[in-house]
Amino acid sequence: MVQNRNRLVVDVAAAGNEAVLKSSVGCIRVVTSDAVTASIGAACDYAAWYFLPVAMRLDMDLHICGRGSPMTVLNARRISEIWQSWLPGHLSRTEVSFSEEGRRDEPARDRELVYLSGGLDAAYTALKRLANGRSQDVITIQGMDYTLDDEARFHALVVKTAPLAELLSGRRIIVKSDAYSLYESVELNLRRHHLGHIFALAGAGFVHAHGYNRLVLAADERLDGQFLTFPWGSNSATNFLFDDGSTRLCSDSEDVARPEKIALVRSSEIALKSLSFCWNRKVQPQNCGICKKCLRTKLLFLAVTGGVPPIFSVDEIPTNWAERLRYKEPGGLHAVHEIFNEGLASGYGSLIPKFENSRAEVRAYYARDPYRRWEKERRKQKGMRFSITEIIRRLRR
């Protein structure tokens, strides 16, 4: 490796079920509830996944003082190259190294660890895999949607999702990490574009690479939705590269849209009652029914099933729902189109307030040069060098 940049050196202090990853720019503390499947002191690949976005953001190479896989070294570099091509000036190519390299032994059993957050995507993935007879344990992480000092609400989430977790598996792993604090300090995320969550998810999962061949993560969006919400941390271009040669991260249901997920989850009362996707931190793990994410999900339930289940604090749907979902932005446009298309297919569109008027409003707005509008919005966002129009032009060459 050519040393042409400063290195970010990370010392790994691990004991039992806890590790502290120390660097000159900050530390990440990780605690797991399950020491049996953890390799927290033997293999340090998880430390590379936790710190890779920090090194990319600071334009530094990354060195982990511990044992890691050559495959992690290769794939981490590939991930950084992809992000550099997407966000030049914000993230950079990073070389990763370990003080000791060696391929880790394969897990003794063919076992999968499934991320269970309480969200719709995770519930769908877990139910589908259960129906297919897959053997799986589940993992839930504190320090992302729920901060480490928010013990009461996180405990309420664990209790709310416990029936579904027990239905899926006899083993549920809880991992606590303060990685987000470090990500915030280096200003990793962009306005309206979350980049850091996939690294926090991968880090927590690879803490348990000793016990599992695959770490199964529900896709945030179908492929077409990923294109519209670009750049987003969890995506089909980089997720599969979280692979140390023995354990790999697998994105599930990248070909499934939310209406299909709604239909399956609605068929299970246990899964339905476990849902917690609200963005209002004051009411989590309950669902306020007012925030953008609750509103979108409520409308999808209505469009798919003809009714809104009693899982929201507020059931009413405002007449300006399309505007509140921000249809003038790519992600919002994708959300309202899912609702429009499913409402037309199911015949339940007539139950949605001002359904036809909203369709006409959105269509009229996008009849006028949508790329120019998106380009203007993109240029406002920190770190974006290329506009949508320029990206499309380059792809057509």
Report whether pLDDT(41) > 70.
yes
Q: What is the pTM of this model?
A: 0.89
Q: Which residue shows structure tokens 């719709």?
A: 120
In terms of Cβ atoms closer than 10 Å to its own Cβ (0-12, 13-18, 19+), residue 338 is buried
Question: pLDDT value at position 33?
Answer: 96
CATH hierarchy code of domain 112-252: 3.40.50.620
Q: With contact defined as beta carbons under 8 Å apart, do 80 and 92 qualify?
A: yes
In sequence order, what are the residues at sequence separation of 6 or more whose Cβ sits closer than 8 angstroms to the Cβ of residue 350?
343
258-314 pLDDT, tens digit per residue, is 999 999 999 999 999 999 999 999 999 999 999 999 999 999 999 999 999 999 999
Proportion of the chain above pLDDT 90, given as a percent: 77
Least confident of 29-33, 53-57, 139-143, 391-395: 391-395
Question: What is the distance between the alpha carbons of residues 99 and 106, in angstroms, rounded to a whole number?
Answer: 21
Largest CA distance in the chain: 63
Better-scored residue on pLDDT, 187 or 377 = 187
Question: pLDDT value at position 102?
Answer: 84
What are the extents of the domains in the chain? Answer: 7-101, 112-252, 277-366
Report whether pLDDT(375) > 70.
no
Better-scored residue on pLDDT, 37 or 197 = 197
Question: pLDDT value at position 42?
Answer: 83
Q: Which residue shows structure tokens 């849902």?
A: 275
What is the DSSP pairing of strand 96-101 with strand 248-252?
A: unpaired
200-249 pLDDT, tens digit per residue, is 999 999 999 988 999 999 998 999 888 888 899 999 999 999 999 999 99
Question: pLDDT value at position 238?
Answer: 97
Supply the mean pLDDT for the chain: 90
Question: pLDDT value at position 35?
Answer: 87
Residue 234 is which amino acid? Answer: S
54-76 pLDDT, tens digit per residue, is 999 999 999 999 999 999 999 99
Quote the tokens at residue 255.
């070909």
Question: pLDDT value at position 98?
Answer: 97
Segment 172-194 shows an average pLDDT of: 95
Q: Which residue shows structure tokens 């590939």?
A: 78
Question: What is the distance between the alpha carbons of residues 357 and 363, in angstroms, rounded to a whole number?
Answer: 10
Q: Assign 116 a pLDDT band (cuts: 50, 70, 90).
A: very high
What is the DSSP pairing of strand 248-252 with strand 214-218?
A: parallel
Q: With contact defined as beta carbons under 8 Å apart, do 386 and 371 qualify?
A: no
